[in-house]
Amino acid sequence: MAILTPADANTYAPDVTLTGDALNSALLFVQSIIESGKGANRPLEVTEFQERKDVNIKAQTVYFSHTPVLTEPTPVIKVRLGNIMDFSRNVISIGDWVTVEDDAYTLDIDGRLNFNKNFYRQFSYGFLGTRGHFGRHYTSECELTYSSGLDFTQNTFEINQLKAAAGKILSYIEGNNSMPYKGNKRLKVPFREFEVESSDKVLPGTIPDELFLSFVKYRPVIL
């Protein structure tokens, strides 16, 4: 579901006068800039993500890039050991991917995945890259398939707060004569500002950064 629906616009942007197709197009435009690098820099609706990440060898932890991580559907987590050196500085060759069971990890609210080290004794490599009970047992790489995002049909404080912020952006754009849906021919959306070309004039507009503060906290975590 979109961040704002036409019905939501009546509540969160009551001063906007657009209707019909013009309003629908405006709402899509607002969502596109909210999810651009100026705002969340990611889709905010529930979306499936796939990523491959290096695991912190000592801590046996890794961070999902996108939060919140949904538990339904259950994330699919695969791990393997390889491309690192053992205690004798011999390179351990890459092992096979192994799917992690649900009870072999914990997931923190901040998106940190904590692996249960004992679980990996049965398939990871130890000292000198040999199988067995010598040395440490850990994983060095993981492959994550999971869903992350927000359900904008819910009536929660978080969802209503984001809808209100999106409504402010919609109102700002139209109120500053920068809405590109009143007979304009073409729209350009660079990284931080947009330029609207109409049949008789160009109306440049820059949306203040403070209007995006509610969305930047959902930006992907790069670690």
Residues 126 and 175 in one domain: no
Residues 52 and 144 in one domain: yes
Residues 34 and 102 in one domain: no
Instruction: Please report, for residues 71, 84, 137, 175, 191, the alpha-carbon distance to residue 217 in angstroms, rounded to integers and kept in the order given.
Output: 20, 34, 35, 26, 18
Q: What is the pLDDT of residues 106-141, one digit of tens each?
A: 999 889 999 885 544 333 444 434 444 334 456 788
**Which tokens in the block code for residue 125?**
């490599």
Q: Which domain holds residue 108?
A: 47-148
Domain-ending residue, one of 98, 126, 148: 148
Residues 206 and 186 in one domain: yes
Residues 55 and 144 in one domain: yes
pLDDT over 90 (residue 95) = no
Write the single-letter amino acid at 110. D
Domain-ending residue, one of 123, 148, 173: 148
Residues 6+ apart with CB under 8 A from 97: 78, 79, 80, 143
Domain-ending residue, one of 102, 123, 148: 148
Residues 105 and 169 in one domain: no
Look at residue 86 in the predicted model and tell me its pLDDT.
55
Q: Is residue 64 part of a domain?
A: yes
Q: Is residue 222 part of a domain?
A: no
Calpha distance 169→194 (Å, rounded):
13
